[in-house]
Amino acid sequence: MKEIMTLIRRHQVPATKKAFEDAGFPALTIQSVEGRGKQGGIGGWAAEVDPELNSVMSPDFADETRFNWIPKRLLTIVVQDDQVEEVVDVIIKTNQTGHMGDGKIFVCPLKEVIRVRTGEVGREAVV
């Protein structure tokens, strides 16, 4: 089993949930988090319009305001080993805009899963 953790834009959550459902992965956990990527947050008033503007604008126009913590959603979903590729594809297809801030996907190994209600372990516990 693998645990797939993905950080995505807030407004993409409904679309991602729908895409997961259509692909047959209805179970997921959603957390509200704040974070930043390798750009270290976004800065300047222009970032509110489009983060990419900062790189093409002259520095005189940019101001000191910076957003160090950008609100994101962290989705955690547990799947079988052979389903990882499919889920990663679904996430990328649904969330890709091509601009920075689309998010990251992390695939982590998972030792054991236990369903609390029945005590099932392993494969059966994940559906």
Residue ranges that bind another protein, judged by CB under 8 A: 2, 6-8, 31-41, 68-69, 72, 74, 84, 88, 91-92, 95-109
Of 11 and 38, which CB lies nearer to another protein in the complex structure? 38
Minimum CB–partner distance for residue 11 and another protein (Å): 14
In whole angstroms, the minimum distance from the beta carbon of 126 to another protein comes to 17
Contacts of 88 (CB under 8 A, 6+ apart): 4, 105, 107
DSSP-based three-state secondary structure for 88: helix
Task: Give CA–CA dist 44/72, Å, rounded.
Answer: 19
Q: For residues 124 and 44, give the distance between their C-alpha atoms in angstroms, rounded to a whole number.
A: 50
CA dihedral 56, 61, 62, 64 (to 10 degrees): 170
Q: Least distance to another protein from the beta carbon of 119, Å? A: 25
Q: Which is nearer to another protein, 33 or 61 (CB)?
A: 33
16 touches 57 (CB < 8 A): no
Nearer to another protein, 92 or 114 (CB): 92
Q: Name the residue nearer to another protein (CB basis): 99 or 124.
A: 99
